[in-house]
Structure 1
């Protein structure tokens, strides 16, 4: 592939004690993570300066974004994760809606070999406790891997900041013969987050909480008919329930004059298949068809000194898509091209494309690459279907992007590599809300705004016998080109200004040193530059600048026992934000300070 891609191995995350996928992504170039304060708070990802709903997230091939693209990374853990793949740049030609700035794929572990089980525990700062159990193995034509884990924390605030979650996952893969295989992968997460803050970050409420659970199911089967021809069929299911509760009749409520609760159920079922044809000349042609059904059911109830009110809604819609991908490799040159045609019940027809080329010199270890493509993001449920005081617009079209990038990858020998990538992305038809529609009953949402982002991504790595170093640097320049309905310096979109919460400069580095055969040390360092934001405690919101900050994490692992068929025992110590830096990723919401965690892991079999 000609795009800039990164793979993060699950073994490295487990060794370093990184529990959340969002924390692993902080060290990759081109990515910016913003969490609204404590553990469990809403966590957003900005890739190459795009909006937080411009990244498609897949878990074992199942899209887990909300309709309209948003995804909260707060409860996505590294439990049972084999690897994380980051594909930068628009990828809607293959993946469809939401892949405007890129794609994040999470793959769970596959079992192999003799049965192997493990049990781990960890505890530490902020009243944190974590546990996880795994079981895996595989013989003959069947393999399996299962995981169950959970954690709780008191949070960083004085009261009502508890967070707890449970995650279960499993993968079973079987082979009927050498040419026929089938896989069933499932993942379930349940979480509850108590938040005392209002929308400005002020700590005021003693009983508000949010909750949610999500289930993903992937069924995939394929057969290779000849050396050239392969077919695959799949069914993906994603269902999520989420809501909030802040009822004023609770004795603990400090905002007794108003309360609110809500419940939303969202379901997506996708089925399809693809045909892969490979030739001896290095050409691979893939063609596929997908049909998707989405449904959203919602209920809300509000309480105030004036009485109670409630509302409910329900909508569903379908999408059909055909996609084709062509790749050609001959000696040092590789070319690829892709096209996807959508037929959506809401916005009608849409087409996206992507193409790229790469050339590699074996003698010098140099690889040159260029790529270009387009992406789309479907309107949200609210933007399309809302009724009442806010009215949706059924005539909305998708938000769109066009991207160009070029890069060079260089191998220096001795385990050293350097990668440089320059990119430019333009965003158009951005959907905005107007508080004053032209006439009563007219819609509040329109495709009116434009923006762009451009920058440079640099990544380097060095490997020696005991030492592995990685580093990344991102330069990002964003600009609003058409502010649409937003006006004034306090608007979230200001013509000529930068997009919010996107730093111009970001630096990250990791180091792993194997002290001995049984002792290893991991270090992670991040420097995030200044970002523009808004202070929503004022009206209109005041423009503010989030200060630059530096975060240092340090962990060590000690293999106490194991080998020769004996049970293994590993002890771990991890310090997060070792320098106790005080910073905010969202204005008004303080990030956690220094934390120290100690744990152990027992492994049997394998």
Structure 2
């Protein structure tokens, strides 16, 4: 778990911290854990993992029974630290690493697979926007105010047997707070001030209000939030040629949501949601409007759920810097499932369906090839797909349960695909549970990737670069994953250890392209030339990826005042398409997180956190030559909370205590914010 950490040299230069220092830190932590356990007496009473999750199997069950590797970020976790960008908090979970798009905002990667392979859900409804709108955006983790999040469930590993396409890497499900039987409200304001005056400060304000209109029958909830992060100034030193890499550009988000919950009787509930969001990331504007209607029923045979959802995402700017080319995507879906306990064989069956229609209007890029007869024929494309799924949890004995499942997806352009899963949960004793399984998953091409009428400028220039187009000849991507590990809870300690291996085939790729007009015909995906001579390249299936590794976590409650936690992830993710396997970018091999919470008094809490990333590649050319690597580094945070009254809490802290940072030297590189000061005021009633 402990390896190489960077330290700070003179201004913005990262230097590796000698490994012996981190070793001493780890040994000290281990010694402290042993001391705490010795003082608390023998830990011979099992501690049940009572956390209830819903994402792994489509029904509520205890974490230790869930047929998957799951981590949970609680509401308390969200309140302990500033969370302007939710991806940053997700990056502290084992198995999660962060990618960096061109604007440096992080994307969520699960087990070494890119953010396009992570399915984002809010209360079980998908909200992915990255692949639908334009390449390289960062809009998938900010559609709900953090004040209204009850918990976040992160399922690592393929979940296509339940959720279909996009869940090859796993699922992040944001669970919002229920309305409740009593009125409640909250308001929060916070700010983060950078020590470096050239770096951008942050501000956030949010509110929520919920309660019954008619007791036990009708309830309402209203939520809203606004956050802003100013653009960086000249935080990077100029290179030898005098050019200077930009820092993080401005971010401004606003959100508003309303929910109406109707409970006609004790067996049924109907929930209607309306949400609207506007996000401005470095001048790229995205608006999203969404509605949903959900019915839940509890019947004599089991439970049922039926959900209609629709959203429209408007990209007001487009995807090319310096141009304004709006596009619009809409998705309509209808899904349902039933959970049925079966006495014979002690089974629990989940079965359901999913119907989805996606549509994209892009007058600038859905035009066909310039100079051809089909040019400007239609600015729209759409796709329809449906699916049936079933999972059966069979409890063989009190200690052993096996889950078998499959999902059949039928895609309008790519036909039918099965995504089977088999998983076993075995309780070795009251404290230790063994888990393992095999899953297959698939991911269909996006509307852009699969449409030959879609095209976009690329290769760094809108006039003398190259041109990329979609293709109806590409195949869906498929993934096979295996995992095996254990989960334990005994006395004050709990944690887990999981080994995983994922093989991804037919990865859809567009990295093979060049502006060199003479060299272009030598590329396999070369299509031809535009009338002005720019070479054209199409999306293609070329890549196979293997990602394997280890996830470890540990937590302890030595007393009511202390909460300790740690996790470690080892990831070996490589592109295995060519003769020589190449590392994937933004995948540090070693990631470790340490944390501690101390309730000093009944009103004062103190929290500390340390995150460490080993060296990672930020640029890997397909030739394997001239790779660019970023040195490893560690960041420490210290925050405090003071409950002034029962209704008012003041929080503050210092983020990146030691001010470890570095220059961004290439366009593929990214900055970590230096030392900054956090202050928040939270009121509830």
TM bucket normalised to smaller: 0.7 to 0.9
Equivalences for residues 190-589 of structure 1 within 5 A: 190-194=278-282, 209-226=283-300, 228-244=301-317, 259-280=322-343, 282-300=346-364, 313-329=379-395, 330-363=397-430, 365-387=431-453, 389-413=467-491, 415-433=492-510, 434-435=512-513, 436=521, 437=525, 440=528, 444-463=538-557, 464-483=559-578, 495-534=580-619, 542-562=626-646, 568-583=647-662, 587-589=668-670
Q: Is the 8 A contact 1:42 1:74 kept in 2?
A: no
Residue 565 of structure 1 is matched in structure 2 by none
- Structure 1: how far apart are the matches of 2:547 and 2:322? 40
> What secondary structure sits across from 1:447 in the alignment?
strand
Shift in CA distance, 574/143, structure 1 to aligned 2, threshold 3 Å: farther
Superposed CA offset, 1:51-88 (max 9, x none) = 22111111122211248588634645524111100111
Relative to structure 1, the CA distance from residue 136 to residue 241 in structure 2 (aligned partners, 3 Å threshold; closer, same or farther) is same
Deviation at 1:579, TM superposition (A): 1.9
Residue 241 of structure 1: how far off its partner (Å): 1.4
Residue 426 of structure 1: CA displacement?
0.3
> Bigger CA drift: 569-578 or 120-129?
120-129
Change (3 A) 1:501 1:238: same
Query: How far 1:587 sits from its partner (Å)?
Result: 3.2
Counterpart Cα distance in 2 of 1:287 and 1:74? 28
1:72 and 1:104 mapped to 2: Cα distance? 14
What corresponds to 2:461 in structure 1? none
Superposed displacement of residue 122, structure 1: 1.7
Residue 111, structure 1, aligned to residue 174, structure 2? no
Q: Could you say if the C-alpha distance between residues 51 and 584 of structure 1 is closer, same or farther in structure 2, counting changes exceeding 3 Å?
A: farther
Deviations 1:574-602 (A, max 9, x none): 32222222148983332222221212122
User: Once the 2 structures are TM-superposed, how far is the Cα of residue 47 of structure 1 from its aligned partner?
Assistant: 0.9
Query: What secondary structure does 2:565 align onto?
Result: strand
Q: Secondary structure at the match of 1:384?
A: coil
Partner of 1:16: 81
CA distance in 2, matches of 1:4, 1:245: 37
User: Is 1:591–2:672 an aligned residue pair?
Assistant: yes
Describe the shift of the 1:560–1:229 C-alpha distance in structure 2 as closer, same or farther (beyond 3 A).
closer
CA distance in 2, matches of 1:300, 1:583: 38
Cα-to-partner distance string for 1:458-512 (whole Å, 9 max, x where unaligned): 00000121111111001111222214xxxxxxxxxx8312111111100012211
TM-score, structure 1 normalization: 0.85
1:282-304 Cα distance to aligned partner (Å, 9 max, x none): 31112212111000111339xxx
Moved more, 88-97 or 394-403: 394-403
Retained in 1: the 8 A contact 2:583–2:620?
A: no
Once the two structures are TM-superposed, the CA of residue 26 in structure 1 deviates from its matched residue by 1.3
Deviations 1:492-539 (A, max 9, x none): xx8312111111100012211111111111222100011112289x99
Whether contact under 8 Å (1:68, 1:98) holds in the other structure is no
| CA shift digits 1:95-141 (9 cap, x unpaired) | 00000010000111112243122222222413432211111224423
Inter-partner Cα distance in structure 1 for 2:141 and 2:167: 20
More displaced stretch, 231-240 vs 522-531: 231-240
CA distance in 1, matches of 2:257, 2:609: 28
Structure 1 259/165 Cα, relative in aligned 2: closer, same or farther at 3 Å? closer
- TM-score, normalised on structure 2? 0.75
C-alpha separation between the residues in 1 aligned to 2:582 and 2:624?
Answer: 17
Matching of residues 115-134 of structure 1 within 5 Å: 115-125=183-193, 126-134=200-208
Matched, 1:83 2:83: no
Counterpart-to-counterpart distance in 1, 2:526 and 2:569: 43
**TM-superposition CA deviations, 1:231-286 (whole Å, max 9, x none):** 32111223211243799xxxxxxxxxx93222121111110222322124531112
Answering whether residue 117 of structure 2 is matched by residue 29 of structure 1, we say no
Whether the aligned pair in 1 keeps the contact of 2:147 and 2:208 (CA below 8 Å) is no
Over 3 Å counting, the alpha-carbon distance change for 1:520 and 1:171 in structure 2 is: farther
Q: 1:593 to 1:156 in 2, by over 3 A?
A: farther
Using the alignment, how far apart are the partners of 2:564 and 2:308 within structure 1? 40
* Structure-2 separation of matches of 1:480 and 1:62: 31
- Unpaired runs of 5+ residues, structure 1, are 195-208, 248-257, 302-309, 484-493, 563-567
1 or 2, which has the higher strand percentage? 1
Structure 1 range deviating more: 527-536 or 334-343: 527-536
Q: 1:246 to 1:452 in 2, by over 3 A?
A: closer
Name the counterpart of 1:137: 211
Cα distance in structure 1, aligned partners of 2:663 and 2:501: 28
Instruction: Note closer, same or farther for the CA distance 1:591–1:362 as it changes in structure 2 (3 Å cut).
Output: same
Q: Secondary structure at the match of 2:598?
A: strand
Do 1:62 and 1:238's aligned partners in 2 also have CA atoms closer than 8 Å?
no
After TM superposition, the structure 1 stretch with the greater mean CA deviation from structure 2, 56-65 or 114-123, is: 114-123
Partners of 1:154 and 1:438 in 2: CA distance: 41
Call closer, same or farther: CA 1:181–1:358 in 2, change over 3 Å.
Answer: same
Q: Look up the SS of the partner of 2:311 in the other structure.
A: strand
Counterpart-to-counterpart distance in 2, 1:96 and 1:68: 15
2: distance between equivalents of 1:300 and 1:452?
36
Taking a change above 3 Å as real, the CA distance of residues 84 and 583 of structure 1, as seen in their structure-2 partners, is farther
